[in-house]
Structure 1
């Protein structure tokens, strides 16, 4: 039988740390150890080349910790419709919103067409990330490719918030263009090299029509050089012409 002392003071103990002290690191470790059972999902994510904010959003999406309508109803935050904010056809779960929604499917289809690879079917969002891998690219190149994945899901979520809070009309073209733009500008800033060198690193041997849209988007946004000039620079760098 346990005796109780009136003089002793109660205090909280965090079971995730041997010393009983709460730390963000220990909480993160518990979450990832509990969820990451598919062979390195989160280790792949944290190696991706993208903004920290983008990776954090993608991490929450993989954990199903974003406030989709289904999650909000489950937590008692809202009590109205759970239908998807973009298509209004199915329940807004993370699986539906980022993979199965018609708008999300259009975004992913554009992504796969852009790089000229076949689109694969995935059973869930974690499986989708693990399969977002190009076998002909190096590990460093695939880290950038994974960064684009994280940027796309982040931009899909941003579009949802624009629709919900700003009454915007869903636009899958805008989602993909924003993902291209954000990933491009971040990478351009980080590596501090010419646009052609970045493209050569990412897409060695790719035909010009696969990257022209990217060049147009970047140059039009930055207003630095003409599309024709960037395309010519890239062609010389990649093909020696």
Structure 2
């Protein structure tokens, strides 16, 4: 009687084992680069944390993401600024409107200017590396997470309810 055997699709000549999986994955990703560590801050809401965690990977339903999933959307340009495709990073940190919001937050919190041209992940890492006490960094993280969540909600209200507001 033959025994059941699992095979890793990239290495069908070998039985499945963790060494083969690691070899296959190491060819696709650099294992020497530290992974981004998302901070699950208990001072903020779970809904906003989950939203930002998904936004980092462009997994929230922006026009660009929906088009990439097969929806027929002829126009994915940001309606607020008209400068770029509507991605999560654009809506939350790169749009001219959201840059003005981030400038106000930076002035209010007294932190140095942050890079709003990069990714959401880069912005959060930059905030986490501020030379502040642990609790102050945690509070700034909450402000950033909640700001992104409120920007998203405000944008959705404007788009789907025709409410007047910015974004």
User: Fold-level match, TM-score > 0.5?
Assistant: yes
> How many pairs does the alignment contain?
135
The equivalent of 2:104 in structure 1 is 110
The equivalent of 1:152 in structure 2 is 147
Greater C-alpha radius of gyration: 1
Show structure 2 runs of 5+ residues with no match: 3-28
The equivalent of 1:141 in structure 2 is 136
Deviation at 1:90, TM superposition (A): 1.8
58 and 155 in structure 1: CA distance in 2 versus 1, 3 angstrom threshold: same
The equivalent of 1:162 in structure 2 is 157
CA contact under 8 A between 1:41 and 1:126: conserved in structure 2? no
Q: Deviations over 1:49-78 (max 9, x none)?
A: 201111111111112100111111111224
90 and 69 in structure 1: CA distance in 2 versus 1, 3 angstrom threshold: same
Structure with the higher fraction of residues in helix conformation: 1
Deviation at 1:146, TM superposition (A): 0.7
The equivalent of 1:130 in structure 2 is 125
The equivalent of 1:228 in structure 2 is none
Report the 3-state secondary structure (helix = DSSP H, G, I; strand = E; otherwise coil) of the residue aligned with 1:64: coil
Deviation at 1:38, TM superposition (A): 5.5
CA distance in 1, matches of 2:35, 2:159: 35
CA contact under 8 A between 1:41 and 1:129: conserved in structure 2? no
CA distance in 1, matches of 2:49, 2:73: 30
CA distance in 2, matches of 1:60, 1:130: 16
Using structure 2 for the length normalisation, give the TM-score: 0.71
Report the 3-state secondary structure (helix = DSSP H, G, I; strand = E; otherwise coil) of the residue aligned with 1:41: coil
Q: Deviations over 1:61-99 (max 9, x none)?
A: 112100111111111224221011432332101222222
Structure with the higher fraction of residues in strand conformation: 2
CA contact under 8 A between 1:48 and 1:146: conserved in structure 2? no
135 and 38 in structure 1: CA distance in 2 versus 1, 3 angstrom threshold: same
CA distance in 1, matches of 2:101, 2:42: 20
Using structure 1 for the length normalisation, give the TM-score: 0.51
CA contact under 8 A between 2:93 and 2:120: conserved in structure 1? yes
CA distance in 2, matches of 1:146, 1:98: 15
